[in-house]
Amino acid sequence: MSKEPVIAFASVVRQFYALTKPRVIQLIVFCALIGMLLAIPGLPSWAELRLAFFACLGIWLVAGAAAAFNCIVEKGIDASMKRTAWRATARGELEDWQTLLFSAVLCSAGCLLLYCWVNPLTMWLTLATFIGYAVVYTVILKPLTPQNIVIGGASGAMPPVLGWAAMAGEVGPEALILFLIIFLWTPPHFWALALYRVEDYRKSGLPMLPVTHGNQFTQLMVLLYTLILFAACLMPYIFGMSSWLYLTAALLLNTVFCLYGFYLWRDYSDELARKTFRFSLLHLSLLFAALMLDHYLC
């Protein structure tokens, strides 16, 4: 039997999998998982672990569906940008109907799983997040306003809320604090990327902040948002969600992020913007990891 059909099938599977933006999805599911664990006082039972597994799987499926839909809408933009030109939709290797069907199947499967094995509230919130990202942000906000990242960041900030709702059956104030942290983290994270990819965004025609308002203004916005984020990251401690362990991590991580923002504003370079973007990913991951450790150790 020829290996060519098997190789071709594996290649198509890899293309579809890449459309789900796996690295982004990993961070989404991680933040949702932290929300789940924080919603449970003490160590989770086997039943709660089972519930968390189905919740993570459902959220992963719907988030992957939103990412795939995004690739359809932005295939022309992706084709004009170096960092996204490799995507199968941008290269024309997958038809629109194939990607749309893939997105619909993932979204339907994820929503069904969440409704039947988790709870209806989590399903409806996750579906609303899908619509917020795939339609409101991608179709409407992103090509319309340089504040697209700020407004659209609400969808990206939802994972811990989804996780909390999955385990608690409600959205508590603690979940909203986690939402606020990611909401304020999103602009400096994406604007750092936009700064060193400004020419790509200029070619794409998207009104990203460095294109519409210039690099210096964007650098100042990155700095200001890191300062506001610093204050927001203290709220879990102030609200009584965490203790000294998280507070120590939050102070260190946010001090470094603010320093990145300050030096980016004072002495800009593409390399520094790239380092700021990479650190922002580390910042959020370690911040939420510290919340989890604090929850169990302190």
- Give me the residue spans of the domains in the chain: 1-171, 173-298
pLDDT of residue 233: 98
Of residues 151 and 244, which shows the higher confidence score?
Answer: 244
What is the Cα–Cα distance from 71 to 88, expressed in whole angstroms? 9
Q: What is the C-alpha to C-alpha distance for residues 241 and 243, in angstroms, rounded to an integer?
A: 7
The average pLDDT across 190-216 equals: 90
pLDDT at 73: 84
Cα separation, 83 vs 288, whole angstroms:
28
40 vs 12 pLDDT, higher one:
40
Average pLDDT for the chain: 91
Question: How many Cβ atoms are within 10 Å of 256's Cβ, its own excluded?
Answer: 14
Confidence of residue 204 (pLDDT cuts 50, 70, 90): confident
70 versus 253: which is more confidently predicted? 253
Q: What is the pLDDT of residue 1?
A: 46
Cα angle vertex 68, ends 203, 145, to 5°? 40
pLDDT, greater one: 167 or 86 = 167
The DSSP secondary structure of 8-71, one letter per residue, reads HHHHHHHHHHHHT-HHHHHHHHHHHHHHHHHTSSSSPPHHHHHHHHHHHHHHHHHHHHHHHHHH
pTM, two decimal places: 0.91
Tell whether the model's pLDDT for residue 234 goes beyond 60. yes
Beta strands in 17-122, from DSSP E residues, in sequence order: none
* Amino acid at position 168, single letter: A
Give the mean model confidence (pLDDT) for residues 70-76.
83
Least confident of 23-32, 60-69, 73-82, 218-227: 73-82
Residue 295: phi, psi to the nearest 5? -60, -35
Distance CA 166, CA 140 (A): 29
Q: Which residue has the higher pLDDT, 224 or 146?
A: 224
Does the domain at residues 1-171 carry the CATH identifier 1.10.357.140? Answer: yes
Q: Which residues of 5-27 are buried (b: 16+ CB within 10 A; e: fewer)?
A: eeeeeeeeeebbebbbbeeebeb
Contact status, residue 110 vs residue 129, Cβ threshold 8 Å: no
Q: What is residue 206's predicted lDDT score, i.e. its pLDDT?
A: 80
**What is the mean pLDDT of the segment spanning 271-290?**
96
> In a 3-state reduction of DSSP, which class is residue 101?
helix
At 3, is the pLDDT very low, low, confident or very high (cuts 50, 70, 90)?
Answer: low
Q: How far, in Å, are 82, 178, 219, 254 from residue 249 at the CA level?
A: 35, 15, 25, 8
pLDDT band at 9 (very low <50, low <70, confident <90, very high): low
Proportion of the chain above pLDDT 90, given as a percent? 69
C-alpha radius of gyration, the chain, whole number: 20
Q: Is the pLDDT of residue 10 over 80?
A: no
Per-residue pLDDT band for 200 (boundaries 50, 70, 90) equals confident
Put residue 165 in one of left, alpha, beta given phi > 0 → left and psi -120 to 50 → alpha.
alpha
| pLDDT-above-70 percentage for the chain | 97
In three-state secondary structure terms, 21 is: coil
Strand, coil or helix: what is 44?
coil
